[in-house]
């Protein structure tokens, strides 16, 4: 009798997992909030005005805001884009926008960025997205995510993230020590810098036209 009960329990558990997965996929497909990533961020920002939330999966305030944010996206559909960025996954975007806490919300119109500092009620967020943003001073040029400082921070962060991933790969797959993995990374970095410098010098050096040699009869 016990084996039958165990099999029934396993079958019910499997069914529950499948139903949960199906529900999650349905909810994700039905969401009007766009998941923004490092790959699709720039293209989406070119398509009209956007409200962008930076969040973290572990953030309690973000989880409480989620259903309100979903309603906001539905009510603004076709008028203002509503997107979210997982700041823990896309750290280079977080660095670019100077994120220091979650959730952080911006209004983005072209390269004009305004930070939201109001409440988290639906009416407040909707007013900010539609017209209230005009009363907010845009982020200054030096702090702007589209300025040179922010872009430099973004690229440096991306390099750092890639470096950490390569380090972890070398340690886990090739069983290198931390010191050896760091040495490999530094060697690759120096080699890349030297190669880039050689290419730059080559491009900047004016080419000397070849002289024609007279042929002797």
Q: Which of 23, 30, 48, 60 is catalytic?
A: 60
CA nearest to 141, candidates 112, 117, 115, 116: 112
Helical residues (DSSP H) of 113-204, grouped into ranges: 122-130, 148-173, 178-204
- Among 23, 30, 48, 59, the one annotated catalytic: 59
61 has catalytic annotation: yes
**If you write DSSP's letter for every residue of 14-36 in order, what string do you get?**
HHHHHHHHHHHHHHHHH--SEE-
Looking at 62, 81, 87, 107, which residue is catalytic? Answer: 62
Which residue among the candidates 23, 48, 61, 119 is catalytic per the annotation?
61
What's the angle, vertex CA 86, arms to CA 93 and CA 27, rounded to 5?
140
- 23 as an active site residue: the answer is no
Q: Which residues are catalytic?
A: 59-62
């Amino acid at each position: 009798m016990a084996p039958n009960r165990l099999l029934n329990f396993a079958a019910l558990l499997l069914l529950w997992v499948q139903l949960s997965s199906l529900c999650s996929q349905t909810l994700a497909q039905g969401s009007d909030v766009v998941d923004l990533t490092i790959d699709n961020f720039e293209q989406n920002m070119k398509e009209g005005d956007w409200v962008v939330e930076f969040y973290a999966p572990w953030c309690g305030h973000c989880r409480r805001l989620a259903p309100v944010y979903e309603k906001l996206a539905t009510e603004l559909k076709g008028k203002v884009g509503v997107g979210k960025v997982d700041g823990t996954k896309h750290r280079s975007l977080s660095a670019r926008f100077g994120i220091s806490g979650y959730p952080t919300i911006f209004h983005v119109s072209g390269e004009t960025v305004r930070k939201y500092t109001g409440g988290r009620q639906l009416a407040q967020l909707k007013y900010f997205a539609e017209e209230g943003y005009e009363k907010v001073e845009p982020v200054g040029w030096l702090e702007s995510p589209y300025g040179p400082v922010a872009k430099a921070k973004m690229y440096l962060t991306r390099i750092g993230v890639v470096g950490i991933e390569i380090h972890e790969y070398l340690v886990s797959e090739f069983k290198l020590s931390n010191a050896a993995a760091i040495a490999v990374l530094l060697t690759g970095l120096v080699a890349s810098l030297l190669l880039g410098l050689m290419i730059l010098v080559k491009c900047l050096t004016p080419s000397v036209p070849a002289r024609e040699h007279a042929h002797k009869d």
